[in-house]
Structure 1
């Protein structure tokens, strides 16, 4: 008797292999950049089910983060372009510096929880701040799991945002 889970284990293995390759290429790029900038830093790689996260630790400076994460966003784009150019496929790597993105994501989740509570209380939509596609996906997932509300993205990049609304 066979049970079909809807996913091909071979495809999952291929995705993990691709994520490993993407992460290694991203880490090499970031290491090269640290060398050029003569910055210290250790690189940690974490491969999750749908993406790889390359985190630079112990840089000792906010130089790679920049104001409101602007430099980190630019670094993310450079890494994405480099990995995609080498692999000729979409990159699934996120770059973080000293946990900045992780802290920001947790703040966004907390704001989303507050917005969900506000929507339930007032029955009026609440707009969240603009965020990138990955962050929006996390907010949509949070809203979907909360129940009683719906979410949609509105606006154009880079001002695209999630709006939480009461469920019909």
Structure 2
């Protein structure tokens, strides 16, 4: 929390930071009047800030837990929109039977897609196996061994 506060101060942001324990670890929720500037286009500035914070934490303690940074609950709202969009695409795949290749996504967004579809008995999602940081997920019907 202190490191993020210092980083934001050096960048010229006045902010209040709340530390929240979540099931996936620690989240630092930032509240500022300059939220749009801190989030950036499609969350790119927010992602960069989170990346730098985690690199700093890892450099001092290799076992430091990964910290998620959010601004004004932007990430939670965006995640909900992504889940809703994936459910709509899944319905299209279910109806047409045609696979859909999504836009390139970072690992965080890909995890949301995979988790949204993991319990679906009819559909599956998969990422290419290359080393690229940004990958395109495909959503398709599961192969069935026996037709009912």
Q: TM-score range by the shorter chain?
A: 0.7 to 0.9
Map Cα deviations across residues 23-79 of structure 1 (whole Å, 9 max, x no partner).
Answer: xxxx11110022223322111222222322111013434221112222111101101
Aligned partner of residue 103 in structure 2, secondary structure: strand
Q: Counterpart in 2 of 1:55? A: 29
2:137 paired with 1:162: yes
The alpha-carbon deviation at position 90 of structure 1 amounts to 5.9
C-alpha RMSD of the superposition? 1.8
The alpha-carbon deviation at position 91 of structure 1 amounts to 4.0
The alpha-carbon deviation at position 156 of structure 1 amounts to 5.2
2:72 paired with 1:98: yes
2:17 paired with 1:43: yes
Long gaps (5+) in structure 1: 1-26
* Aligned CA distance change for structure 1 residues 82 and 137 (closer, same or farther; 3 Å): same
- Structure 2-normalised TM-score? 0.85
In the alignment, the residues of structure 1 paired with residue 65 and residue 106 of structure 2 have an alpha-carbon distance, to the nearest angstrom, of 15
Residues 59 and 98 in structure 1, CA contact (< 8 A), matched pair in contact too: no
In the alignment, the residues of structure 1 paired with residue 24 and residue 43 of structure 2 have an alpha-carbon distance, to the nearest angstrom, of 23
- Structure 1-normalised TM-score? 0.76
- The answer to which structure has the higher helix fraction is 1
Q: Counterpart in 1 of 2:124? A: 150
* Aligned CA distance change for structure 1 residues 165 and 90 (closer, same or farther; 3 Å): farther
* Aligned CA distance change for structure 1 residues 64 and 157 (closer, same or farther; 3 Å): farther
Long gaps (5+) in structure 2: 144-148
